[in-house]
A = this chain, B = another copy of it.
Amino acid sequence: MIEFKDVGLVYPNGTVGLKNINATIKDGEFVVIVGLSGAGKSTFIRSINRLVTPTSGVLSIDNENILGYKGSDLRKLRTKIGMIFQNYNLVKRTNVLKNVLAGRLGHTGTLRSILNLYQKEDISLAYESLQRVNIGEKIYNRADELSGGQQQRVSIARVLTQQPKYILADEPVASLDPPTSHQVMTYLKKINKEDKITTIVNLHFIDMAMEYADRIIGMRAGEIVFDGPASEVTEKTFEEIYGRSIREDDLRGGANKS
């Protein structure tokens, strides 16, 4: 369970990233966060595995406040949270299998991992994960030989190999075309259901959000402006999230918005 209590975050340069965030995400949920560029979606997600650190409030995971975590506590926390990035963040020149095994790093001793002495179980787990996202035959290809959709699937396999309790995905489909986007979202959803992994995804597209989410959180300027099941989303919600003047703006050209 992830609990935000009055969480706020101000970046060192003074930009407000999060403001008064209150939300509880229960185990096994599939939550999609939507909002305009700069709304604070990434900041929200990255607070959870402490890639950024909120400056006020309490953020607890499994009933422990994680905001004070350091060193090995932090690494242990991160080991149970998998993350998927917009640009896949694979090591381009390394092969797919090794990229996926990187997901096990948190569970493997330093020496063992440096010497490439993975346990058979780990390698077998990695291979299974790759097969789950249907890319088992590419294990020895280098990551940069794959298409965008394939790379994103590898990064999902990496997270699966990590066997996390939570998965965070920061705009996992922003660089992909629509059919491939659907593929990737389908995989995420499948994993969420099959493995009961709590999944939090950032998306730009509210339509796609509605198709996959159990619950949608809408953000705007660092605040939560909507929080509820996908079925409750209305035209009005849309306006709340994207700002009431969006269509007009569109037509006028809204020079400074994008």
Q: Are A182 and B250 in contact (CB under 8 A)?
A: yes
Residue on B nearest A206 in the bound complex, by CB: B178
| A185 CB → nearest B CB, Å | 9
Q: For the complex formed, measure the closest distance between the CB of A56 and the CB atoms of chain B, giving whole angstroms.
A: 29
Report whether B255 and A37 are in contact in the complex, using a CB–CB cutoff of 8 Å: no
Query: Does A246 make an interface contact (CB < 8 A)?
Result: yes
Residues of B within 8 A of A109 (CB): none
A185, closest chain B residue (CB): B250
Of A149, A174, A249, A258, chain B has the most CB atoms within 10 Å of the CB of A258
Of the four ranges (under 10, 10 to 19, 20 to 34, 35 or more), the interface on chain A belongs to 20 to 34
Tally of this chain's copies: 2
Given known A-B contacts A135-B255, A253-B187, A178 and B204 have beta carbons under 8 A apart: yes
Contacts of A176 in B (CB 8 A): 258
Provide the residues of chain B in CB contact with A37, threshold 8 Å.
Answer: 147, 177, 179-180
- Please tell me which one of the listed residues B183, B249, B251 contacts residue A258 in the complex, with CB atoms under 8 A apart: B183
Residue pair A177, B148 in contact (C-beta under 8 Å): no
Would B246 and A179 count as touching, CB distance under 8 A? yes
CB closest chain-B residue, reference A252: B134
Cα of A253 to Cα of B185 in the assembled complex, Å: 10
With A178-B204, A258-B150, A258-B176 known as contacts, the answer to whether A183 contacts B253 (CB < 8 A) is: yes
Does A24 belong to the interface (CB within 8 Å)? no
Chain B residues near A205 (CB, 8 Å)?
Answer: 177-178
Interface flags for A29-72 (1: CB within 8 Å of B; 0: not) read 00000001100000000000000000000000000000000000
User: Which residues in window 186-226 of A have CB below 8 A to B?
Assistant: 186-187, 204-205
Q: Does A88 contact B (CB under 8 A)?
A: no
Given A147-B258, A149-B258, A253-B186, answer yes or no on A177-B179 (Cβ-Cβ < 8 Å): no
Interface residues of A (CB under 8 A from B): 36-37, 133-135, 137, 147-150, 153, 174, 176-180, 182-183, 186-187, 204-205, 242, 246, 249-255, 257-258
Known: A178-B205, A179-B249, A183-B253. 9 other contacts (CB 8 A): A134-B254, A147-B258, A149-B257, A150-B258, A174-B177, A176-B258, A179-B246, A179-B257, A183-B258
